[in-house]
């Protein structure tokens, strides 16, 4: 069993009898009888289970309790909806605003909205449509909820919402180790120690954000015999931006990545804003998005187009390979036994990078296909270099090398683009599935190349705006 210590609504809690795959949602409801945190989808989509988590650095995040395992909150402060108001009962500004603006109908989703709003309020965030995109309301009462968020945004943050970080410094936590009996649980703080441990225990499941692995447990009902939680490995959370290159640790979250590179690559930043929900982006890591090998992961096609290199580690041995070479076939990657993703690096220069995600809905949806385009065009109008990659077009994220060849060395014209687009049939034989047919994917890839041409010509199109 797992031993952890954390703050719950401002009160120290020590737990030594919980399984490592016990979710925070189930713990709050079943053990603490804090039933304000609701179970809706149990897969990180609806936001009804949202809780506030403050880590030892003071970072405050809104996370889905249904995909958060108890060891992940060790040494952190957690506030459920019951802990948002002041201890004397004075409502938080967002709670008062929700009442004043009639932001609740049936009420089932309301706790999740309130917690998400309280986190945004503490962060000073005012992009409410983005912040609340991970909270769904079956009553469709979004307008009064947004009005409530706007009404509360300039109110001072209540003092008790600042108290958790100071209390964490006083919380006694000791270095987590494997459980003595079944050796199921490992929470390393040293990257070297972890590398050696994983080399000796290569069948262990690695958990960073748990936004994917969490579903193995909550939906797949899988047992995880041996687990390593990577959240305390600060070495995996490094971010380095120079004039020449960018280096991102495998443990950097999607939200952190977006904040770091959004101004450098606006198109990539916009794509990352559509990665899952706000809560998922706060937890999911770039390394996890790559390591799971999904053919429809949103980050890999963009990183391939950027010329990214993957840094892998097995014990004390390290190697580097081009990201495009990591994906071998569906469900199989070039990763040795006991080897893990340490970081991702790529050249910074890419002024013509554009990323396009095609999905049935804008937020919280898996791509039917995701295309990334990165061409260089000289002053004479010739394409001098190019990298084009897609997710969702094959069993792996993959470059469109035939299309690239048809473009490089040729004038950057509509005629060249139209001719080059015919080569998509040589690069991909898309499958038909519930997200899109093969014909749809092929036609859309063609059209995205045309869209890219228009983008570079200054004729960009915002597909979220409909003109009648």
CATH code at position 449:
3.30.390.50
Whole-number percent of the chain with pLDDT over 90: 82
Give the pLDDT of residue 185: 83
Give the pLDDT of residue 467: 52
Is the model's pLDDT at 162 over the cut of 90?
no
Torsion over CA: 154, 159, 163, 166 (sign):
positive
Is the model's pLDDT at 121 over the cut of 70?
yes
Please check whether residue 124 lies inside any domain of the structure: yes
Please check whether residue 270 lies inside any domain of the structure: no
pLDDT (tens digit, 9 = 90+) per residue, 342-380?
999 999 999 999 999 999 988 888 899 999 999 999 999
Give the pLDDT of residue 297: 83
Is the model's pLDDT at 178 over the cut of 50?
no
Q: At 175, is the pLDDT very low, low, confident or very high (cuts 50, 70, 90)?
A: very low
Q: At 331, is the pLDDT very low, low, confident or very high (cuts 50, 70, 90)?
A: confident
- How far is Cα of residue 284 from the mean position of the Cα atoms in its chain? 4
Please check whether residue 318 lies inside any domain of the structure: no
Nearest to 267 by CA among 345, 352, 205: 352
Please check whether residue 71 lies inside any domain of the structure: yes
Give the pLDDT of residue 296: 83
| Averaged pLDDT, 279-305 | 93
Pull the structure tokens for residue 309: 């290199």
Give the pLDDT of residue 66: 97
Task: Report the distance separating Cα 337 and Cα 353, nearest Å.
Answer: 35
pLDDT (tens digit, 9 = 90+) per residue, 309-328?
999 999 999 999 999 999 99
Task: Report the distance separating Cα 244 and Cα 419, nearest Å.
Answer: 34
* Cα distance between the two ends of the chain: 61
pTM higher than 0.85 for the full model?
yes
Q: Are 233 and 189 in contact (CB under 8 A)?
A: yes
Please check whether residue 306 lies inside any domain of the structure: no
Is the model's pLDDT at 462 over the cut of 80?
no
Higher-confidence residue: 331 or 316? 316
Q: At 157, is the pLDDT very low, low, confident or very high (cuts 50, 70, 90)?
A: very high
- Residue 17 belongs to what domain range? 2-170
CATH code at position 115:
3.10.20.30
Instruction: Among 124, 153, 170, give the residue marking a domain's end.
Output: 170
pLDDT (tens digit, 9 = 90+) per residue, 64-85?
999 999 999 999 999 999 999 9
Q: Are strands 2-8 and 77-79 parallel, antiparallel or unpaired?
A: parallel
Q: At 174, is the pLDDT very low, low, confident or very high (cuts 50, 70, 90)?
A: very low
Please check whether residue 203 lies inside any domain of the structure: no
Q: Which helix (H) or strand (E) holds 220?
A: none
| Averaged pLDDT, 155-160 | 93
Is the model's pLDDT at 163 over the cut of 90?
no
Give the pLDDT of residue 176: 39
Please check whether residue 411 lies inside any domain of the structure: yes
Higher-confidence residue: 160 or 310? 310
Which residues share a beta bridge with 319? 312
Instruction: Among 155, 170, 185, give the residue marking a domain's end.
Output: 170
Mean pLDDT of the chain: 92
Instruction: Among 170, 191, 206, give the residue marking a domain's end.
Output: 170
pLDDT (tens digit, 9 = 90+) per residue, 14-62?
998 889 999 999 999 999 999 999 999 999 999 999 999 999 988 999 9
Q: At 464, is the pLDDT very low, low, confident or very high (cuts 50, 70, 90)?
A: low
Give the pLDDT of residue 180: 37
Please check whether residue 221 lies inside any domain of the structure: no
Q: How many domains does the chain have?
A: 2
């Amino acid at each position: 069993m797992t031993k952890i210590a954390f703050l719950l609504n401002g009160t120290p809690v020590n737990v030594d009898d919980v399984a490592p795959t016990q979710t925070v949602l189930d713990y709050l409801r079943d053990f603490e009888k804090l039933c304000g945190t609701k179970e809706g989808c149990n897969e990180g989509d609806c936001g009804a289970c949202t809780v506030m988590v403050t880590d030892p650095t003071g970072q405050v995040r809104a996370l889905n309790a249904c995909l958060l395992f108890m060891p992940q909150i060790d040494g952190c402060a957690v506030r459920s909806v019951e802990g948002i108001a002041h201890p004397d009962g004075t409502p938080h500004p967002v709670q008062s605003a929700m009442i004043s603006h009639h932001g609740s109908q049936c009420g089932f989703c309301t706790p999740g909205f309130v917690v998400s709003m309280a986190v945004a309020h503490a962060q000073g965030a005012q992009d409410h449509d983005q912040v609340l995109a991970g909270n769904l309301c079956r009553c469709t009462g979004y307008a009064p909820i947004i009005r409530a968020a706007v009404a509360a945004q300039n109110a001072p943050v209540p003092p008790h919402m600042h108290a958790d970080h100071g209390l964490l410094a006083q919380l006694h936590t000791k270095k987590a180790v494997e459980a003595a009996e079944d050796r199921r649980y490992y929470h390393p703080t040293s990257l070297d120690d972890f590398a050696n441990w994983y080399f000796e225990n290569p069948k262990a499941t690695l958990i960073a954000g748990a936004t994917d692995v969490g579903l193995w447990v909550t939906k797949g009902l899988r047992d995880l015999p041996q687990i390593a939680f990577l959240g305390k490995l600060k070495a995996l959370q490094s971010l380095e931006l120079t004039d020449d290159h960018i280096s991102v640790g495998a443990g950097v979250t999607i939200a952190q990545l977006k904040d770091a590179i959004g101004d450098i690559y606006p198109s990539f930043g916009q794509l990352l804003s559509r990665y899952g929900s706000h809560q998922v982006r706060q937890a999911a890591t770039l390394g996890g998005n790559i390591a799971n090998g999904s053919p429809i992961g949103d980050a890999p096609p963009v990183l391939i187009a950027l010329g990214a290199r993957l840094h892998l580690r097995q014990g004390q041995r390290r190697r580097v390979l081009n990201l495009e070479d990591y994906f071998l076939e569906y469900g199989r990657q070039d990763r040795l036994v006991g080897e893990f993703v340490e970081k991702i690096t790529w050249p910074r220069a890419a002024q013509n990078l554009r990323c396009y995600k095609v999905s049935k809905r804008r937020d919280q949806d898996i791509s039917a296909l995701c295309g990334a385009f990165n061409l260089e065009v000289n002053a004479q109008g010739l394409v001098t270099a190019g990298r084009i990659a897609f997710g969702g077009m094959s069993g792996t994220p993959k470059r469109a090398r035939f299309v690239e060849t048809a473009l490089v060395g040729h004038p950057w014209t509509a005629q060249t683009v139209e001719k080059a687009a015919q080569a998509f049939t040589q690069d991909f034989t898309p499958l038909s599935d519930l997200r899109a047919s093969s014909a749809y994917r092929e036609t859309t890839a063609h059209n995205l190349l045309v869209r890219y041409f228009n983008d570079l010509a200054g004729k960009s199109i915002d597909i979220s705006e409909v003109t009648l």
